Amino acid sequence: MLHSKEFVRILKSAGYDFFTGVPCSLISDVILSLEKDPSVPYIPAVREDVAVGLAAGAYLGGKTPCILMQNSGLGQCLGALASLNLIYRIPCLLIITWRGHDGRDAPEHEVMGKALPRLLDSVRLPYKRLTHKNAHKAVGWTRQVISQEKVPAALFITKGVLK
Amino acid sequence: MNITQAIKIIMRHLGDELLITANGRISREAFAINDRTENFYMLGSMGLASAIALGIAVNRPERKVVILDGDGNLLMSMGILAQIARLSPKNLVHIVLDNEVYNSTGNQPTISAQVSLEDIAKSSGYTKVAKVTARGTLETTLKKCLNARGPSFILAKIKPDNMPKGLGRVTHTPIEIKERFMSGINGEKRD
């Protein structure tokens, strides 16, 4: 397993310097670690689309933002990603927990769990799945997408990857 | 006052403030009245002009940031009032042009006639909150808020009218809007 603190360290060393989002239990230690970290801000957002707006403003202001959310929250912010980030080319890293990916989760995760990759495909948002082995490479890839294509890049996190 | 008059008054008082405008008529009017380097026209993502402005304000504390919001936009994302008040950026002025209708889509009513938006802003924790109905008070209140420690909230009650037929869309592409605005944040001027 990948330690949450180590994951935060990888994100920071890749240049992410503004964090916001809405929690999921799968990333609770990542958020805890960010909240304790005096070197970067973590702003708890009231909703995922507000997090997208905040991150867009941070980018305009010179930051490289990262948003953390559960896949249920992608439904809240897909419109904002489409009609803000993708048309203006305002990038960010989206760390999305993939609840319901194997069909064995709470009922509220069933539909979004199945649809997640196709939802991002449908608006042409690039994504990769984070594993305990590929963190450096996957985070590095997101930085490349962000600086070259200037679109959001997503990392999916399933249960058991982070500790 | 109508919305065009209100936006003209507001833009007359802006110097190098960064201006984030809500989608629809508000962005179109701002573009037609004074297309500044420091204007960010939000074309889509309804409800989020205030969130974008907040993201800028907390990261660029040396710049004053003004939001030109609408009642429909604010009602759509009302959690933003708590979000702004919690972070409390002193360089933020949140102006809501409240005509009680979705103007850009044909004047369908919002619910702001029955909701006291200024009270919600106040109890959320904005430093300064004002409700104005006349042009003169909008002007004096805005001047005060631009010089005061924020975040401040101005609810400007607007007489609804139809969107003028000749009012065009913003002609810059979204990427042009972004790039010019970012140069504006860094103190450059562009056409």
Q: What ipTM, to 2 d.p.?
A: 0.97
Furthest CA-CA distance within chain A = 41
Q: Which residues make Cβ contacts (< 8 Å) with residue A137, sequence separation at least 6?
A: none
Contact list in B for residue A90 (CB cut-off 8 A) is: 178
Chain A residues whose CB is inside 8 A of the B184 CB are: none
Give the per-residue pLDDT at B191: 73
In this structure, what token pair is assigned to residue B168?
Answer: 């065009």
Q: Which residues of chain A have pLDDT under 70?
A: none
Q: Do A57 and B47 touch (CB under 8 A)?
A: no
Say if residue B151 is preceded by a cis peptide, omega within 30 of 0.
yes
For chain B, list the strands marked E by DSSP.
18-21, 39-41, 65-70, 92-98, 101-102, 108-109, 128-132, 152-157
Burial class (CB in 10 A: 0-12, 13-18, 19+), A62: middle
pLDDT at A101 (0 to 100): 92
B45 interaction partners in chain A (CB closer than 8 Å): 49, 52-53, 79-80, 83-84
**Residue B96 to residue B141: CA distance in whole angstroms:** 13
Q: In chain B, which residue's Cα lies nearest the Cα of A19?
A: B55
Q: Mean pLDDT of all residues in chain B?
A: 97
Does the beta-carbon distance from A57 to B174 stay under 8 Å?
Answer: no
Determine contact: B52 vs chain A, CB below 8 A: yes
What distance in Å separates the CA atoms of residue B76 and residue B148, rounded to the nearest whole number? Answer: 28
| The pTM of the whole model exceeds 0.80 | yes
The phi, psi pair for B118, rounded to 5°, reads -70, -35
A46 contacts B79? CB cut-off 8 A: yes
Instruction: Say yes or no: B66 contacts chain A, CB-CB below 8 A.
Output: no
CA–CA separation, B24 vs B46, rounded Å? 9
Cβ–Cβ contact B37 with A under 8 A: no
Residue from the list B52, B57, B174 with its beta carbon closest to the beta carbon of A87: B174
Q: What's the rounded Cα separation, in Å, for the pair B189 and A144?
A: 30
Output the pLDDT for position B187: 87
**pLDDT by residue, tens only, chain B of 191 residues:** 999 999 999 999 999 999 999 999 999 999 999 999 999 999 999 999 999 999 999 999 999 999 999 999 999 999 999 999 999 999 999 999 999 999 999 999 999 999 999 999 999 999 999 999 999 999 999 999 999 999 999 999 999 999 999 999 999 999 999 999 999 999 888 77
Which residue of B lies nearest to A54 if distances are taken between CA atoms?
B55
Q: Do A58 and B55 touch (CB under 8 A)?
A: yes
